[in-house]
Amino acid sequence: MSQNQMPNPKVDIERVNEIKKASFWVSQVFILLATVIGVYLAASQGYKQAVQFENMTSYKESYYLQKSLQYELQDNIVLLKGYMAKIQDSNYYGARNEPLNFYTLIWENMKFSSTTLSTPPMLLRQAQQFYREVAKLHESIAISDISVPTGIKKLQAQIDIVEQQLIPTLEKNTAQIQHELAGSDIIL
């Protein structure tokens, strides 16, 4: 069309008549509804995926934390058994006062981890009791508040609790987490 030519008034009238028709408005309403529903469904699905990913990541962190605590407790039991053997040896005079030098990297860093509270409270309580009771017994043996045989018996009781209750429960709990993550893309 050149600049001097006028638009065809018949075509403009047809467009105006088309806009006035109900079918035009119905189709526009359906387009609007379809857009809103599509955006809602996409956002909802995206939110579900984000929550699922966050849960899986939390499970993974919890798995590693609990496994690390388990290994640390097992290593500390080995150290404690070595200490118990030394204090029973009458030729080793300084054994009573020898420090235990437990590995506590995991236990100490659990204070700062948000994942710590996803560990079942019973497990945390048992670990806390183990560390606390062993420290008290070690001090009592060192200052001769209790005899070596009594101390050995009480230390063995603490070892038994960890070996027979805490560690198997940690293993069971981490196996359950591993099972939860088996169907996901999260690699342990």
Q: What is the pLDDT along the chain (188 residues), one digit of tens a residue?
A: 455 666 665 666 666 666 667 777 788 889 999 999 999 999 999 998 888 888 888 889 999 999 999 999 999 999 999 999 988 887 777 777 888 899 999 999 998 988 888 889 999 999 999 999 999 999 999 888 998 899 999 999 999 999 999 999 999 999 999 988 887 777 76
Q: Give the residue carrying structure tokens 């500390």.
A: 76
Contact (Cβ atoms closer than 8 angstroms) between residue 131 and residue 97 = no
Residue 166 lies in a domain: yes
Q: Is residue 46 part of a domain?
A: no
174: in domain:
yes
Are 149 and 141 a contacting pair, CB within 8 Å? no
Residue 128 lies in a domain: yes
Type and span of the H or E element at 61: helix 22-88
Cβ contacts of residue 186 below 8 Å, gap of 6+? 56, 57, 59, 60
Looking at residue 22, what is its pLDDT?
Answer: 73
- Write down the pLDDT at residue 10: 60
Residue 157 in domain? yes
d(CA 26, CA 15): 16
Q: What are phi and psi of 61, to 5 degrees?
A: -65, -40
Least Cα distance to 68 among 103, 40, 43 occurs for: 103
Question: Which amino acid, one-letter code, is at 4?
Answer: N
Q: Determine, yes or no, domain membership for 39.
A: no
Structural domain boundaries, residue 110: 61-181
Cα dihedral sign for 148, 154, 157, 162?
negative
Give the total number of structural domains in the chain. Answer: 1
Within 8 A by CB and 6+ apart from 79, the residues are 100, 101, 102, 103
| Residue 41: inside a domain | no
Alpha-carbon separation of residue 7 from 2, 14, 19, 132 (angstroms)? 10, 13, 19, 93
Residue 144's pLDDT is: 87
In a domain? residue 36: no
Cβ neighbours, 10 Å, residue 25:
11
Supply the pLDDT for residue 39.
Answer: 93
